[in-house]
Structure 1
Amino acid sequence: MFTSPDGLCGIGELAERAGVTVKTVRFYSDRGLLPEASRTTGGHRRYGPDALDRLRLIRSLRALDLPLPEVRRILDEEDAAQAAGSALEDAVAGQLRSLGSRLTALRWREAALRLVQESPPAQRAERLRLIGALTTPPSTAPLARFWRAWLPARMPARSTAAFLDVAVPHPPDDPRPAQVLAFARLTAVTSAPCQGARQPQPEAHRAVGARGAAVLYEGLAEAYELAAVQMRRDRAPYAGDALDGFVAAYARAYGVRDGPDFRRGLAVRLAGDPRLDGYWELVSEMTTPPGRRPEPTPGSAHDWLLAALDAQTARDPA
């Protein structure tokens, strides 16, 4: 409560009680955030009893780095006596997202600096070039563009999204220097120009068309998961459920029956397709915790299954 007979106070007293400058009070008043109760005949501002609490609220909101439009929305909601406080909740949530993004960017910069610091002198120039091409936080857009160019153009959107979810690794929020290097190399690999207008999609995949490819990739994803279980157990490639699911995925996509002749032909066809082993090795570096054995990737699972197919067809010649 102010001490003046009319219960109002001047701009100087309000500033002093709030611990701010007169200039600050005038700034918020001029922008309509801190209404005046009246003005004297000499034009001096007078503020009511609620002005001090309102000014303190404004300062608290600004201390959270909320922009003035957000502060205005929150104050308007307070004036309307809306108990839900949705404007404040939305503003805080937005600031948390923004802050999280900035913290992630700082962690990536720190890891990149450590990478340069720990690199042998002969490798620093190349690594500086690689990490210089990254945004912070890093973007997966180059990787997604690479795979979209690799996939059939008219593949259903849901199937494309499911494929990209597996093929494009999510950059960690708190990376190690080795992960920064791996992601920088992934970006460089997927951004490099390729021969021809499109990425070299395997002939075994291109032959089935867009809808057939959707069926194929769905079946392959299940086969890769089964193979990954065996790979974590250190099982050598063998003919089992994982291989049967792998072959069945191709058979369904081609609209043919599985059998010894089909498996022999499939082994030959897959052996001649282009490889993306380097990509999957970098993905493994990105996703494997330090000190742990490499986690299976779709690429390494494919190689395991192809080795199992080769072994089976070698034992069962035509």
Structure 2
Amino acid sequence: MSEHDQPGTGTAALSIGALSRRTGLPVKTIRYYSDLGLLPVAGRTSAGYRRYDEAAAARLALIRTLRELGLGLAPIRRVLDRQAALADVAAAHADALEQQIRILRLHRSVLRALAVREPDLTEVERMNDIARASAAERHRISEEFLDHVFAGLRVDPQFEQLMRRARPDLPDDPTPEQLDAWIELADLLADNDFRARVRQMAEQHSADEQMVAGRRDSRSSAEVAERVAALAGAALDAGVDPASAAAAPVVAELVGVFAAHDERTDTPEYRAWIRASIGGGTDARAERYWQLLAVINGWPAVPTRVPAWEWFAAALAVHTG
């Protein structure tokens, strides 16, 4: 008969085999814990086989649970020997796990970003640096981008302040989605084509402000954008061809919304001006910029409206007369 099949009597009635079947731990592991002194032997048979009591079974169950939670044998021994309180050990281990989880999230986000491209070593290092950027570094990246956009431009101070206040504010314990969004945003802010496009949009905004002589405000501008999204979006969903006659009344209604907003009259010249001024609405990257900021900062989600603006721009190009 083997060690774990030998019968026992009294309080030390559990063989190592019985303990293994009860806990699901291998005999080899139980023997190892016993040899380390973590699991005291309650007695031995005349042949020298180990025997365990119910207290040892309960102790082994605790060891197994703490090991499954990731604790090492050294802190487990301190807990079992009453040299450390379980609550203190658990709290310290939880703190260590939090840091490990954060690092793993960073690694996962970097790998996700790299998976969609064919990076060289420099790109890998750059993306890893972006993921690990401190709050001050994230602020610097955002401010440097905006400094480039607004350098030398005479724009509405309120517009520039709005852009500067809306910077990425990644929380200390970001979600995977927020980390992914930050990496994508930092990549976008470094893109020279995107920088040039946003600067062009800022220049257009400045020209628009001069043309409407300050009659715009952020609330009413948002209402105009909502109307475009609703009316042009509905036409797009209905399959209305922007070049068709059916698109003309939609264009007329939307131009009327713009005209009321700007205190202008619907003329071919005004329609041409609208076409030139709505370029930002048809830029998917500009929309993505605000969508990523919303994810990072925990704002309400920014809906995708570029297709509706593209429909309106195409229809307006046809129905200008």
Q: TM-score range by the shorter chain?
A: 0.3 to 0.5
Q: Normalising by structure 1, report the TM-score.
A: 0.46
Q: Normalising by structure 2, report the TM-score.
A: 0.45
Structure ID, larger Rg: 2
**Structure 1 or 2: larger helix share?**
2
